[in-house]
Amino acid sequence: MTLPQLPPLGAQLGTLLAELNYVELITNAKGVVLGVVIILFLFVALTVFVVFYKLIHVSMAQAQSITFLDKFWDSKRLDDIYRVAEQLKYSPIAAMFRAGYIELSKVKKAAAAAQQQGYDSSMHEKLGDSDNVERALARARTSEQTKLENLLPFLATTGSAAPFVGLFGTVWGIMDAFAKISEAGKADLASVAGPIAEALIATALALASAVPAVVLYNYFQRRLKVLGAEMQNFGNDFMNIVKRHFF
């Protein structure tokens, strides 16, 4: 008597995986696995939102900063530059200039009032006035860097936490699948492949959210590093001009 020849195990597994409907695997998830899948879908959706928001925000900040720097170096009057800076709301460098210009205006008004009263500022007081302008620039730079980095920690959190969330869902799903197989009393490949594939969907979703989040987080960090260097250079240049012409 000749026994029927069974196809190799790899061929059986490939056929079963080809027949699986991955949308049904997600929609049929239950209990803890379903909760993990929902959390991971939220991670994916929020990652997409953060990426598009930061792309627009950082791109506008860079474009307006270039426009402002062109105007700053071409103009000879600070009040003209200030009017341009007021229109460039997304430029961190323009925000630094506005803060420095306002503080410089306060210092000049105080010095003019002192001169009207016959009091001339000492060199120490003039240096203190320049320090006030420098501190205003530093505060503005810190504030603008905080705005630019807003929501980026979410990408870092997604990149580090999502794989563990997905792994938890996968482990739980496999445990549940083996428990059901034990209750049924049979463990053929057809009964195992479906539940295991359903559990592995959680890991697939986790990687789909974590990998882009990590890559894009590093991308935005690089762009913000360039912007930060430009802000630092502008602060130094502005203080050199202020000390040369006003102090």
pLDDT in tens, 179-228: 777 776 666 666 666 677 777 888 888 998 899 999 999 999 999 999 99
Is pLDDT above 70 for 100?
yes
Is pLDDT above 70 for 13?
no
- Higher-pLDDT residue of 10, 188: 188
What is the Cα gyration radius of the chain? 31
Residue 117: helix, strand or coil by DSSP?
coil
At 131, the pLDDT band (50, 70, 90 cuts) reads confident
- The residues near 12 (Cβ < 8 Å, ≥ 6 apart) are 6, 189
**Do the Cβ atoms of 82 and 98 come closer than 8 Å?**
yes
The per-residue DSSP string of 9-70 comes to HHHHHHHHHHH--HHHHHHT--HHHHHHHHHHHHHHHHHHHHHHHHHHHHHHHHHHHHHHHH
Average pLDDT over residues 219-243: 92
At 16, the pLDDT band (50, 70, 90 cuts) reads very low
Average pLDDT over residues 100-107: 88
Average pLDDT over residues 34-58: 91
The pLDDT assigned to 146 comes to 93
pLDDT in tens, 75-88: 888 889 999 999 99
Q: Which of 25-29, 207-211, 243-247 has the lowest mean pLDDT?
A: 25-29
